[in-house]
Amino acid sequence: MPRSLALVVMGVAGSGKTTVGEALAQALGAYYIEGDRLQPPENVARMASGVPLTDEHRRGWLDAVGREVAAAAARGENAVAACSALKHAYRDRLRALCPAIRFLYLDVDPATAEKRVGSRRGHFMPASLVDSQFADLEPPTPDENALRLDATRPAGELVKQALALLGSAQSGTLQP
């Protein structure tokens, strides 16, 4: 592993960002950043009422996530953040704040995501917003050098795969 890893676990609602991100951070001994906790109250209220966020709504939130990751990297800490980072421009915004950021894309189908979000309790994001997440989603392109995992797989398996891919990336044999 690199001396200071800056990783964003990304994907639509219900892809497993929090579950995989927390477990990956624990396995790496990394500082964990839950992107949902950095959402401004007005964004949370908007989503809780079933209204999707716009690019403008996400701007300050993305900056907060990027600053947290950059601060950890500046301290020499490994950091793993859970953040949807749905669009290429959002990922560019995060990279502008912390150029070392890497992305782990949890790729999931709409039916699985909707089922997972619908079964969550105590979360502000309703299942009715899953379609809007997929409408905004721009999967990472090859030039972004992101790692992609099939998010329909069990979380433990995803963490093992991520650790293996991150190790391969360090040795120069990354296979997204």
Query: Tens digits of per-residue pLDDT, 107-118?
Result: 999 999 888 776
- Whether pLDDT at 170 is above 60: no
Give the confidence band of 176 by pLDDT, cuts at 50, 70, 90.
very low
User: 6-170 sits in which CATH class?
Assistant: alpha beta
Look over the chain and give the mean of its residue pLDDT values, rounded to a whole number. 87
pLDDT at 79: 96
Calculate mean pLDDT across residues 122-130.
66
Residue ranges per structural domain of the chain: 6-170
- Whether pLDDT at 169 is above 80: no
Give the closest residue to 104 by CA, choosing from 47, 50, 27, 51: 27
Give the closest residue to 61 by CA, choosing from 82, 91, 27, 36: 36
- Whether pLDDT at 19 is above 50: yes
Give the closest residue to 103 by CA, choosing from 32, 17, 19: 17
pLDDT at 47: 79
pLDDT at 145: 82
- Whether pLDDT at 138 is above 60: yes
- Whether pLDDT at 86 is above 80: yes
Calculate mean pLDDT across residues 4-11.
94
pLDDT at 121: 66
